[in-house]
């Protein structure tokens, strides 16, 4: 089995975002900022098939003073979950972003994903909030 993480183009993320994050929803799989030069899209491929994705973009959150990027649209194909692929993608992103002088990654984490992020060193800040059609979220962050 071969596994590879590489930079990909925004449209390559759309099918997996739709499948895993927008199932039975009217929300778009497209994210404002997808095509900005500073946005990074990472894809993890297992045997040349896309299995996990994540998007990282500059986004200022007033909760933080550091040079920051926001994690958005992270998804792992349900057939490939529990293989450590999400962790691998986040660690690769941290490596890339550190080289760019970024100090902190933050995200709006779904309640069901809190433990995943906590295991990787992310912390919750503030209380739970609801995103229509998706559900409960918390802001989480990690200094890198």
Q: What are phi and psi of 18, to 5 degrees?
A: -60, -50
Q: Which range (43-47, 85-89, 132-136) has the least confidence?
A: 132-136
Indicate yes or no: pTM above 0.85. Answer: yes
Task: Name the fold adopted by 3-106.
Answer: Aminopeptidase (3.40.630)
Looking at the predicted structure, is the pLDDT value of residue 19 above 90? no
pLDDT for the residue 80: 85
- pLDDT for 58-81, tens place per residue? 999 999 998 999 999 899 988 888
Give the tokens for residue 11.
């449209």
Residue boundaries of the structural domains of the chain: 3-106
């Amino acid at each position: 089995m071969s596994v590879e993480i590489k930079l990909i183009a925004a449209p390559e993320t759309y099918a997996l975002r739709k499948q895993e994050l927008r199932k039975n929803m009217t929300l778009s799989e497209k994210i404002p900022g997808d095509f900005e030069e500073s946005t990074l899209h990472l894809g993890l491929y297992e045997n040349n098939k896309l299995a996990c994705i994540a998007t990282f973009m500059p986004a200022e959150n007033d909760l933080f003073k550091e040079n920051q990027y926001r994690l958005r649209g992270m998804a792992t194909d349900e057939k490939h979950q529990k293989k450590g692929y999400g962790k691998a993608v986040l660690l690769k992103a941290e490596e890339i972003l550190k080289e760019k002088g970024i100090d902190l990654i933050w995200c709006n984490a779904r309640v069901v994903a809190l433990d995943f992020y906590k295991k990787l060193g992310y912390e919750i800040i503030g209380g739970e909030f609801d995103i229509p059609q998706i559900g409960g979220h918390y802001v989480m962050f990690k200094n890198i």
